[in-house]
Amino acid sequence: MKILLFAAATTACLFLFFGCVSSGAGNAAEPMGPTPNAGGAGMQNATAAPSALEPQKSAEAPGQAAGNNYKEKQVWRYKTRDNENGSTITILKVEGDTIHIRIDGVRIVTKTLGVEESVGHAPIERRLLDESVTEYAGMSEQEPDLSGYETWKEKKGGVFSFTVADIVEAVQSMYKDA
């Protein structure tokens, strides 16, 4: 239901959420991290020696389930749409209960742009990110591209209140006729 309501929004509103959607074909919105099936290119292996940036469960707050301690540049696997099992998210920025992510390894089909393979910026509520992630995949070695975040901040954009897979579905709905 939320997706259908979101799909009725304008493309300008979509930009406020995302900043950019990228095919990774050498344009200015080049993917920040590795391709999902790169097997470690651009990522440190999650089985490497523990570091301060590896996820730790936070203490449970009253009335709230324990969540992950997200840090910039962490790469996570999540509950994807059926055809995108290799898709990952990268944490771009953490602002309290709003987590800014990049989604890679998706397949968003558009009429004019072809197939887009990533969502450059999507702000999501922490509790819904916790609901979405399935396992820690490592650390991105590249610095996050915060251009989408900067635009979102400047325009006072919104925050998604549904799962990562539903965000990808919303983007697909918005761009199917673009």
30-40 pLDDT tens trace = 333 333 333 33
pLDDT of residue 67: 61
The Cα–Cα gap between 155 and 134 comes to: 32
Q: Which of 89, 148, 155, 154 is nearest to 121 (CA)?
A: 148
pLDDT of residue 91: 98
Residues in contact with 49: Cβ distance below 8 Å, sequence separation at least 6, in sequence order: none
The Cα–Cα gap between 137 and 143 comes to: 17
pLDDT of residue 38: 33
The Cα–Cα gap between 33 and 139 comes to: 9
Which portions of the chain are predicted below pLDDT 70? 1-67
H or E segment and range at residue 140 = strand 133-140
Tell me the whole-structure pTM to 2 decimals. 0.68
